[in-house]
Structure formats: C-alpha cells, structure tokens
Amino acid sequence: MKINYLIPCFILSVVSLASCISTKTAVRNSEAQRAANQQSIPEPANEPTLVGVTSKFLDKDSTQVRVFVYIDAVKGESSIDIEEFSKLYTLNYVMYSDYGTRDRLAYGNVPMTLQNLTEVDKQIVAQFDIKKPGKDYGVMLIEISQIGTLKKVLNDLPISFKNQRDSEKFGVFEGGKNVPLRRHFVSQDQPVEVHSLSGKSTPLYVYYYRHGFEAAPSPMNTVPKPVTKNLKVDSAFTIMSNQSISFSKEGLYFILSDTTQSEGMGVLVTDDRYPKLTQPEKLTEPLLYMSTNQEVKEIEAARDEKKALDKFWLSLMNGNPELAQQVIRYYYQRVEDANRLFTSYKEGWKTDKGMIFIILGPPDRVQRSKDKEVWVYDQKANATNVNFTFNKRTNQFVDDHYELVRYVEYQPIWYPVVEAWRNGAIR
C-alpha cells in the first residue's frame, strides 16, 4: 500500500470547488467534499456560495427519467432562497455513455425557474426530465455556475435506464412535497409516501428488522469479515405506493415491489432527534473509535451511564471540565455530521466513511470514479498525503454502499490522531 500516490484532479479553493474530468475518472462534489467545503475559509458575508451538490434520479415512464439536483447554497450563515438562487446560477448538463469516455449521449441547459425549483431539507432542489437514449447506462455531468463569475461546482450522476432497482423507481417523499428525500432515514411516526412518478398505486412489500448493525471495524483490521448470516425478519406487511404512511418502530424497513428481487430500498427509521444523539446509551457507542473495548464496557455496565460518561471524559482531560466540554462538543458534532451525511441501512457513524470522517474530519479532496471513491488528506500525523479508498459494493438495502480498503500501514497515521482526541489536542 502506498500512502502517497494520488495526483489531485481538483483543487478546493476558498471560494468554490474547481473540478476537472480525466479520461479515467470523474470528480464530483460528494457528501464528503461538501463537508470539506463547509470547513474551508468562508467567503465574505454578502457573497453567495455553493457549499455542495448531490443528485439522484427516478424512472418516470418508458421514455424518460427525472433528475433531481440537491444544492446547498448559502450567503454568510443563511441559506439562499429559491428566488435569489434562480437569478444567481445556471445549470447545464452533458451525458456520456460511461466514465472515461467522450461518447456524448445528451446535453442541455435547465432553466432556473420557480417551476422547477423546490426547497426540501433546507436544500434547493432542481428537477428536470431527460429522454432515455436507448442505452442501458449513462453518466450525467452536471455543472452549476454562478452568473458573471468563474465559480462553479460539478457533480456526476450514474443513471440506469434499464434493469433498475426499486430505489430508482420509487422515492420517499414528505407529505405535500414533489421531491424525494435524498437521505435514507426518516423519523419515527413521520408521515411519508413511497412514491413513483407514474402516479399509479401499487402494492409494496415491507420487511422490518429491529436488528442493530455493527459499527465499522478499525482501518487496520484486514481480517476478512465472517459470512453474514441471514437477518431475522421481525415483521412483514404490505403498503400501497403513493399513499401516506408512517413507521411506528425504530429500525430498518426494507421495501420491495417484487418479492423475487434481491435488491430493494432500505429506509432507516430513527428517533426525532436524529441525526443528533442525546440518550446516554447512544452517546456511548460511537466512543469505540477513540477508546478501548474495556472503557466502553465499563461505561455501559455502570448503574448511571450518564455519570460514567462524564467521568470518562473528565479522566481523559485530566479533570479539566472546560476542555472536556469542548472535546465532547466537537466529537459529537462529528458524529452528528456523519449521521447526516452517510446514513445508509445503518447509522452514518457506523459506516466506514463515518468512522474516517469522525476521527480525521472531512477530506481535503475527493476523487470519485464508477466503482470507488478516494478521500485525500493532505497531512495527517507523519504522512504528507494520506489516501483512503472506498470501493462501491452491491448492497440489497441501498444503492450507495461503500467499503473501506483496509491496511495495517494506517497505524502510524491513525493512532496519533486518536491519541490527540484522548488528550484534548484536537481542535
């Protein structure tokens, strides 16, 4: 394994993300890169900024798919409203047959009008339809540019035109909204619709799992994972698409339109404080990334887990309550951000990306291709460049599951940062 090897394909500047496309890879403003942007030097309070862009698509009919582009646009500390956004930015796209090719299938400009812009989850969402090109697959490169400047953000979106999984046919919509949620989680008892763009109401089969999934193992743990046993289904029931429903129990709900399929759509149902963690037992779990197994067990076994947690942090900070409060606030903000950015079929902090994000923070650069994503940290511990590669893997619950490539050589990088958390040196 080489720690130093990636020539960056794009540069994160203080005002925007300037990206480039090579013949072999495409770079996008991913969730991780969006977090990195949020950590960069802020612009003047009166300057608009695109913090991040993500996207998804849903099948519409036999001839078209609909693309949804989710945009974080801010001015100072406030979000930009739709009317102002429509006057400031343009959206263009070009679609190729695959990553690394110049076989152009389609291109166009999307008018930024109030008719195709919506606000969901504090994001501005642009939506537009594209004609199916007679191919099984395509990659859309989306460019959002600020009028009168050189500022722009690129985003890439792989699109399946055939053999689509349920998550590409159905979306989870909040009541009254015409845009699907980009995230994989909803709150307990929150009214939602599992909606298709066809408008037809069809039966959907739901399998409920109360099972709590394991947190990510160490980046140095190269021991192969044991074969996963079949999960126990706690209950099963049927719902109708395009009709309001709420899920009463926390856990994973796996939704299929056809029970002969293996890949469907997973929805994680959480308490209404999520992605923030507030209960002592939930606050203890993410400590495993910066503590020993024995320390976690002692906290969990304590009669008063809240007092045990306080004692744990105070002991690490040599009894300094102010320093303990600062580190606690910083650590659990990372946990909350990981939940918001990376939740899949399990909580975001439990994912491989969430683990790296919590300990090391947002990457300085992100390089993404068809089957992998590489996070680059310019300097950590004694290394000048540190790369973490996440390979995209097939997963029955979600279509964006990534697994970290683990190496024992990460030890001299990982342990000093963990020790910095434990002695309060993280800032």
Using alpha carbons, select from 55, 99, 94 the residue that is nearest to residue 370.
Answer: 99
Residue 16 has pLDDT above 60, yes or no: no
pLDDT tens-digit map of 153-190 = 999 999 999 989 999 999 999 988 899 999 999 999 99
Residue 87 has pLDDT above 80, yes or no: yes
Structure confidence at residue 34 (pLDDT): 63
Structure confidence at residue 100 (pLDDT): 82
Structure confidence at residue 30 (pLDDT): 66
- Cβ pair 384, 4 in contact under 8 A: yes
Give the containing element (helix H, strand E) for 420: helix 411-422
pLDDT tens-digit map of 22-71 = 333 344 456 776 665 555 444 555 788 888 899 999 999 999 999 999 99
Using alpha carbons, select from 178, 225, 421 the residue that is nearest to residue 312.
Answer: 421
Structure confidence at residue 3 (pLDDT): 42
Structure confidence at residue 251 (pLDDT): 96
DSSP 168: G
Structure confidence at residue 227 (pLDDT): 64
Tell me the C-alpha distance between 292 and 298, whole Å: 10
Tell me the C-alpha distance between 79 and 123, whole Å: 8
Residue 198 has pLDDT above 80, yes or no: yes
pLDDT tens-digit map of 334-393 = 999 999 999 999 999 999 999 999 999 999 988 888 889 999 998 776 667 899 999 999
What is the DSSP track for 172-239?
EEETT-SS--SSSEEETT--EEEEETT----EEEEEEE-PPPPPPPPTT--SPPPPPPPPPP-EEEEE
Structure confidence at residue 149 (pLDDT): 93
Structure confidence at residue 373 (pLDDT): 93
**Average pLDDT score over residue span 285-304:** 93
- Which ranges in 46-149 belong to alpha helices (H)? 82-88
- Provide the mean pLDDT of the chain: 87
Higher pLDDT, 25 or 327: 327
pLDDT tens-digit map of 385-425 = 899 999 999 999 999 999 999 999 999 999 999 999 999 99
Which domains does the chain show, CATH number per domain?
A: 11-167 (2.60.40.2060), 185-270 (no CATH), 280-422 (no CATH)
Tell me the C-alpha distance between 35 and 226, whole Å: 32
- Which ranges in 207-320 belong to alpha helices (H)? 280-284, 293-301, 305-316
Residue 210 has pLDDT above 50, yes or no: yes
Of 90-99, 103-112, 115-124, 348-357, least confident by mean pLDDT is 115-124
Side-chain-facing half-sphere of 313: CA atoms under 13 Å:
21
pLDDT range class, residue 12, cuts 50, 70, 90: very low
Q: 3-state DSSP call for residue 262?
A: coil
Radius of gyration of the chain measured on its C-alpha atoms: 22
Structure confidence at residue 101 (pLDDT): 86
**Average pLDDT score over residue span 129-136:** 94
- Cβ pair 305, 279 in contact under 8 A: no
Structure confidence at residue 393 (pLDDT): 93
pLDDT tens-digit map of 134-158 = 999 999 999 999 999 999 999 999 9
Structure confidence at residue 346 (pLDDT): 96
Residue 333 has pLDDT above 90, yes or no: yes
Tell me the C-alpha distance between 335 and 412, whole Å: 23
Dihedral sign, Cα of residue 24, residue 30, residue 32, residue 33? positive
Structure confidence at residue 47 (pLDDT): 84
pLDDT range class, residue 228, cuts 50, 70, 90: low
- The residues near 350 (Cβ < 8 Å, ≥ 6 apart) are 213, 214, 215, 216
pTM of the model: 0.87
**Average pLDDT score over residue span 12-19:** 26
**The two three-digit tokens of residue 376, written as one number:** 């680059």
